[in-house]
Copies of this chain bind each other. A is one copy, B any other.
Amino acid sequence: MADNKHENILMAAQKLFAERGYDGTTVPMIAEEARVGAGTIYRYFENKQMLVNELFRGSVARFAATLHEGFPEQNDFRKRFRHVFYRLVRYSRENPEAFRFINAAANAYFLDEVSKSDFEGFMDFIERHLDEGKKAGLLRGLPAQAFIAIVYGTVFHLSRMFEDGTLEPSDELLAGIEESCWDAVSAD
Protein backbone atom coordinates (compact mmCIF):
# COMPACT_ATOMS: atom_id res chain seq x y z
CA MET A 1 0.00 0.00 0.00
CA ALA A 2 1.88 3.04 -1.29
CA ASP A 3 1.19 5.89 1.09
CA ASN A 4 -0.27 8.25 -1.45
CA LYS A 5 -2.41 10.47 0.72
CA HIS A 6 -3.63 12.65 -2.13
CA GLU A 7 -4.97 9.58 -3.89
CA ASN A 8 -6.31 8.02 -0.70
CA ILE A 9 -8.30 11.14 0.06
CA LEU A 10 -9.74 11.26 -3.44
CA MET A 11 -10.74 7.62 -3.30
CA ALA A 12 -12.31 8.01 0.12
CA ALA A 13 -14.22 11.05 -1.07
CA GLN A 14 -15.30 9.20 -4.20
CA LYS A 15 -16.77 6.39 -2.18
CA LEU A 16 -18.57 8.62 0.30
CA PHE A 17 -19.87 11.13 -2.23
CA ALA A 18 -21.29 8.23 -4.21
CA GLU A 19 -22.98 6.81 -1.11
CA ARG A 20 -24.14 9.94 0.67
CA GLY A 21 -23.78 12.85 -1.72
CA TYR A 22 -21.63 15.93 -1.36
CA ASP A 23 -23.43 17.63 1.52
CA GLY A 24 -24.14 14.37 3.29
CA THR A 25 -20.42 13.64 3.47
CA THR A 26 -18.39 15.43 6.12
CA VAL A 27 -14.71 16.15 5.93
CA PRO A 28 -14.03 14.07 9.06
CA MET A 29 -15.81 11.16 7.37
CA ILE A 30 -13.48 11.48 4.41
CA ALA A 31 -10.50 11.75 6.73
CA GLU A 32 -11.44 8.61 8.60
CA GLU A 33 -12.08 6.65 5.42
CA ALA A 34 -8.73 7.85 4.01
CA ARG A 35 -6.97 7.11 7.31
CA VAL A 36 -5.59 10.62 7.64
CA GLY A 37 -6.14 13.48 10.05
CA ALA A 38 -8.88 15.90 9.13
CA GLY A 39 -6.38 18.73 8.80
CA THR A 40 -4.33 16.74 6.31
CA ILE A 41 -7.07 17.05 3.74
CA TYR A 42 -6.46 20.79 3.67
CA ARG A 43 -2.82 20.27 2.80
CA TYR A 44 -3.92 18.63 -0.44
CA PHE A 45 -7.10 20.54 -1.25
CA GLU A 46 -7.94 24.16 -0.71
CA ASN A 47 -11.35 23.26 0.65
CA LYS A 48 -14.15 20.75 0.31
CA GLN A 49 -15.47 22.34 -2.85
CA MET A 50 -12.08 22.26 -4.56
CA LEU A 51 -11.79 18.62 -3.57
CA VAL A 52 -15.11 17.67 -5.11
CA ASN A 53 -14.29 19.55 -8.30
CA GLU A 54 -10.87 18.00 -8.62
CA LEU A 55 -12.40 14.60 -8.05
CA PHE A 56 -15.11 15.21 -10.62
CA ARG A 57 -12.69 16.39 -13.28
CA GLY A 58 -10.37 13.47 -12.70
CA SER A 59 -13.22 11.02 -12.97
CA VAL A 60 -14.54 12.63 -16.13
CA ALA A 61 -11.06 12.60 -17.65
CA ARG A 62 -10.63 8.89 -16.95
CA PHE A 63 -14.12 8.25 -18.27
CA ALA A 64 -13.28 10.12 -21.47
CA ALA A 65 -9.98 8.26 -21.77
CA THR A 66 -11.79 4.95 -21.46
CA LEU A 67 -14.10 5.98 -24.26
CA HIS A 68 -11.41 7.34 -26.56
CA GLU A 69 -8.96 4.50 -26.08
CA GLY A 70 -9.29 1.97 -28.84
CA PHE A 71 -11.94 3.96 -30.66
CA PRO A 72 -12.07 2.23 -34.08
CA GLU A 73 -10.01 4.11 -36.66
CA GLN A 74 -11.87 2.95 -39.73
CA ASN A 75 -15.24 4.57 -40.20
CA ASP A 76 -17.30 1.51 -39.40
CA PHE A 77 -20.19 3.04 -37.51
CA ARG A 78 -21.65 -0.16 -36.17
CA LYS A 79 -18.27 -1.07 -34.72
CA ARG A 80 -17.90 2.38 -33.22
CA PHE A 81 -21.33 2.23 -31.66
CA ARG A 82 -20.52 -1.09 -30.10
CA HIS A 83 -17.19 0.33 -28.83
CA VAL A 84 -18.92 3.28 -27.17
CA PHE A 85 -21.58 1.09 -25.57
CA TYR A 86 -19.08 -1.37 -24.17
CA ARG A 87 -16.76 1.31 -22.94
CA LEU A 88 -19.58 3.08 -21.12
CA VAL A 89 -20.43 -0.23 -19.51
CA ARG A 90 -16.81 -1.00 -18.76
CA TYR A 91 -16.23 2.30 -16.99
CA SER A 92 -19.45 2.00 -15.02
CA ARG A 93 -18.53 -1.51 -13.93
CA GLU A 94 -14.87 -0.90 -13.17
CA ASN A 95 -15.54 2.39 -11.45
CA PRO A 96 -19.08 2.10 -10.15
CA GLU A 97 -18.61 4.79 -7.51
CA ALA A 98 -17.04 7.20 -9.97
CA PHE A 99 -19.78 6.56 -12.47
CA ARG A 100 -22.54 7.06 -9.94
CA PHE A 101 -20.80 10.18 -8.61
CA ILE A 102 -20.35 11.71 -12.05
CA ASN A 103 -23.99 11.27 -12.91
CA ALA A 104 -25.25 12.53 -9.59
CA ALA A 105 -22.92 15.54 -9.57
CA ALA A 106 -23.26 16.67 -13.17
CA ASN A 107 -24.94 20.09 -13.03
CA ALA A 108 -24.77 20.22 -9.23
CA TYR A 109 -24.45 23.66 -7.64
CA PHE A 110 -21.05 22.86 -6.14
CA LEU A 111 -19.38 22.28 -9.50
CA ASP A 112 -17.45 25.17 -10.97
CA GLU A 113 -17.57 26.21 -14.61
CA VAL A 114 -14.46 24.26 -15.57
CA SER A 115 -15.93 21.04 -14.23
CA LYS A 116 -19.23 21.61 -15.98
CA SER A 117 -17.59 22.33 -19.31
CA ASP A 118 -15.32 19.30 -18.93
CA PHE A 119 -18.39 17.15 -18.60
CA GLU A 120 -20.06 18.83 -21.55
CA GLY A 121 -16.97 18.18 -23.63
CA PHE A 122 -17.20 14.52 -22.74
CA MET A 123 -20.86 14.34 -23.75
CA ASP A 124 -20.07 16.22 -26.95
CA PHE A 125 -17.80 13.39 -28.02
CA ILE A 126 -20.68 10.94 -27.81
CA GLU A 127 -22.96 13.36 -29.60
CA ARG A 128 -20.51 13.90 -32.46
CA HIS A 129 -20.10 10.17 -32.81
CA LEU A 130 -23.86 9.70 -33.12
CA ASP A 131 -24.14 12.59 -35.56
CA GLU A 132 -21.78 10.73 -37.88
CA GLY A 133 -24.15 7.78 -37.82
CA LYS A 134 -27.02 10.08 -38.69
CA LYS A 135 -25.09 11.65 -41.58
CA ALA A 136 -24.32 8.17 -42.85
CA GLY A 137 -28.07 7.46 -42.86
CA LEU A 138 -27.66 4.58 -40.45
CA LEU A 139 -29.71 6.09 -37.64
CA ARG A 140 -33.31 7.10 -37.29
CA GLY A 141 -34.65 10.59 -37.83
CA LEU A 142 -34.28 11.62 -34.20
CA PRO A 143 -31.93 14.16 -32.65
CA ALA A 144 -28.59 12.77 -31.53
CA GLN A 145 -29.55 13.81 -27.99
CA ALA A 146 -32.41 11.34 -28.12
CA PHE A 147 -29.97 8.55 -28.87
CA ILE A 148 -27.86 9.65 -25.95
CA ALA A 149 -30.91 9.44 -23.71
CA ILE A 150 -31.48 5.89 -24.89
CA VAL A 151 -27.92 4.60 -24.74
CA TYR A 152 -26.51 6.56 -21.84
CA GLY A 153 -29.78 6.34 -19.91
CA THR A 154 -29.84 2.60 -20.36
CA VAL A 155 -26.24 2.13 -19.26
CA PHE A 156 -26.81 4.43 -16.30
CA HIS A 157 -29.78 2.47 -15.06
CA LEU A 158 -28.08 -0.82 -15.76
CA SER A 159 -25.14 0.24 -13.62
CA ARG A 160 -27.49 0.96 -10.71
CA MET A 161 -28.94 -2.49 -11.02
CA PHE A 162 -25.54 -4.17 -11.16
CA GLU A 163 -24.52 -2.23 -8.08
CA ASP A 164 -27.53 -3.07 -5.94
CA GLY A 165 -27.70 -6.65 -7.17
CA THR A 166 -31.02 -6.32 -8.94
CA LEU A 167 -29.38 -7.67 -12.05
CA GLU A 168 -26.39 -9.93 -12.54
CA PRO A 169 -24.05 -8.86 -15.33
CA SER A 170 -22.99 -11.41 -17.94
CA ASP A 171 -21.48 -11.27 -21.41
CA GLU A 172 -24.69 -12.61 -22.85
CA LEU A 173 -26.85 -10.04 -21.11
CA LEU A 174 -24.63 -7.18 -22.20
CA ALA A 175 -24.57 -8.43 -25.77
CA GLY A 176 -28.35 -8.59 -25.70
CA ILE A 177 -28.71 -5.09 -24.38
CA GLU A 178 -26.20 -3.70 -26.81
CA GLU A 179 -28.24 -5.19 -29.61
CA SER A 180 -31.40 -3.74 -28.08
CA CYS A 181 -29.84 -0.30 -28.03
CA TRP A 182 -28.69 -0.63 -31.58
CA ASP A 183 -32.15 -1.68 -32.65
CA ALA A 184 -33.52 1.32 -30.81
CA VAL A 185 -31.39 3.79 -32.73
CA SER A 186 -30.71 2.23 -36.11
CA ALA A 187 -32.82 3.06 -39.12
CA ASP A 188 -35.39 0.44 -40.28
Chain A residues at the B interface, C-beta cutoff of 8 Å: 19-24, 104, 107-110, 140-143, 145-146, 148-150, 152-158, 161, 164, 166-167, 173, 176-177, 180-181, 183-185
Our pick among B143, B164, B184 for the contact of A107 (Cβ within 8 Å) is B164
The 15 sampled A-B contact pairs (Cβ below 8 Å) are: A21-B22, A24-B109, A24-B110, A140-B176, A142-B173, A142-B177, A142-B180, A143-B173, A146-B176, A149-B161, A150-B154, A152-B157, A153-B155, A153-B158, A183-B183
Q: Give the residues in chain B near A22, CB-CB below 8 Å.
A: 21, 23-24
Instruction: Give Cα distance in the complex from A110 to B20, angstroms.
Output: 9
Taking CB as reference atom, which chain B residue is nearest A188? B183
CA distance A110 to B25 in the complex (A): 13
Main secondary structure of the interface of A (DSSP, over half): helix
Q: Given the interface contacts A23-B24, A24-B109, A109-B19, does A167 sit within 8 Å of B149 by beta carbon?
A: yes
List chain B residues, Cβ under 8 A from A149.
154, 157-158, 161, 167, 177
How many copies of this chain sit in the oligomeric assembly?
4
With A23-B21, A145-B167, A180-B185 known to touch, is A156 a contact of B158 (CB < 8 Å)? Answer: no
Given the known A-B contacts A20-B109, A156-B156, A157-B153, are A146 and B177 also in contact in the complex, defined by CB atoms under 8 Å? yes
The interface residues of chain B lying within 8 Å CB-to-CB of A183 are 183-184
